[in-house]
Amino acid sequence: MKRIGVFTSGGDAPGMNACLRAVVKTACADGLEVFGIRHGYRGMIAGDIRALDPAAVSNMLQRGGTLLKTARSPEFATAEGRARAWAHLQQWGIEGLVAIGGDGTFTGAEVFSREHGIPIVGAPATIDNDLYGSDFTIGFDTAINTALDAIDKVRDTANSHDRVFFIEVMGHHAGHIAIHCGIGGGAEFVMVPETATSIEQLIAALNRGRDHDKTSFIVIVAEGGALGDAEVIAARVGEELPALDIRVSKLGHVQRGGAPTAADRLLASRLGNAAVEALVGGASGVMLGVCNDRITHTPFEQAIHTQKPIAAELLKLVDVLSSS
């Protein structure tokens, strides 16, 4: 293998640039030519490809977002779109790919590799931390620290005004951000899609707190839950407990941005390096991860379709620590 390509796809995550830097530097150290594909699969279809060298990724380790940009590409979901992408890779002589992204990225990679026979390995980069086969994904640590900073600030206002704040965090259909923020932020209640929680349980928890003279509460709500978003849940609680002063705060895309934490920079660097070494070693159709501090290889299909559970001890811990 002489030439490889690298791209970032799907939602941006802090640490993508650190991973890209590691891919480029490792590839060049191994004597490979490396090419960056801008705007993910959309750029692959358009032929938006350029050569990269270590100078191109210098001073990128600490930057959020992605140097290569990212985009959604409905066209890549079609055989015609993938054929166009393959034609451009052939024009550039690209023999293997490193995909940096999440489940949608790896879904496309699995189909593309199977159709056209090009080796592809993946580095998991998503703030949702929802990919099976890695203890943590690139961007997750930064996202929870960003969210915690906001939660701590909201706590000050909640305490000052004796209010109940419903704070919605991202996660798609996974509650990993919510659980970590709930424990780290001292929330009185946490609602995640992985566990069935009723409005009655939430109201009971708020009443127990009031019985113990608590005057302010933080309720963390993960997006994607069966009961609806934070505004819907807050409205239902307000109907049952009209005496409460209730506010809603949706943290939104602020969780995606910012300089990656040290943990994310290290994880991204390890996975970028391991992705190139795996590709050169003949691997394909696998996501690189870190489990118990060891590099692991997980088939794309398993990484995408196996639900990554929230650790039972964390679910128990959040209940114990939030009890009044």
Give residue-wise pLDDT tens across range 235-259. Answer: 999 999 999 999 999 999 999 999 9
323 assigned to a ligand binding site: no
25 assigned to a ligand binding site: yes
46 assigned to a ligand binding site: no
| Pairing relationship of beta strands 120-124 and 286-291 according to DSSP bridges | parallel
Q: Residue 324's pLDDT is what? A: 60
Q: Contacts from 315-320 at CB under 8 Å and sequence distance 24+? A: 315/179, 315/194, 315/195, 317/183, 318/179, 318/182, 318/183, 318/187, 318/190
Phi/psi for 138 (5° steps) reads: -60, 130
Give residue-wise pLDDT tens across range 40-93. Answer: 999 999 999 999 999 999 999 999 999 999 998 999 999 999 999 999 999 999
Give residue-wise pLDDT tens across range 82-117. Answer: 999 999 999 999 999 999 999 999 999 999 999 999
3-139+260-305: CATH, from 3.40.50.450, 3.10.450.30, 3.20.20.140, 3.40.50.720: 3.40.50.450
CATH of domain 143-256: 3.40.50.460
- Closest by CA to 36, choosing from 11, 14, 10, 3, is 3
12 assigned to a ligand binding site: no
Q: Which residues are designated catalytic? A: 128
170 assigned to a ligand binding site: yes
What's the average model confidence in pLDDT over 268-282?
98
Give residue-wise pLDDT tens across range 136-173. Answer: 999 999 999 999 999 999 999 999 999 999 999 999 89
214 assigned to a ligand binding site: yes
Q: Residue 162's pLDDT is what? A: 96
Give residue-wise pLDDT tens across range 9-25. Answer: 999 999 999 999 999 99
What's the average model confidence in pLDDT over 179-188?
96
103 assigned to a ligand binding site: yes
Do 3-139+260-305 and 143-256 agree at the fold level? yes
Q: Residue 90's pLDDT is what? A: 97
Angle at 85 between CA 81 and CA 88, to 5 degrees: 140
Calpha distance 112→85 (Å, rounded): 9
Give residue limits of the domains in the chain: 3-139+260-305, 143-256
- CB count within 10 Å of CB 216 equals 18
269 assigned to a ligand binding site: no
Q: What percent of the chain has pLDDT over 90?
A: 95
pTM value surpassing 0.85: yes
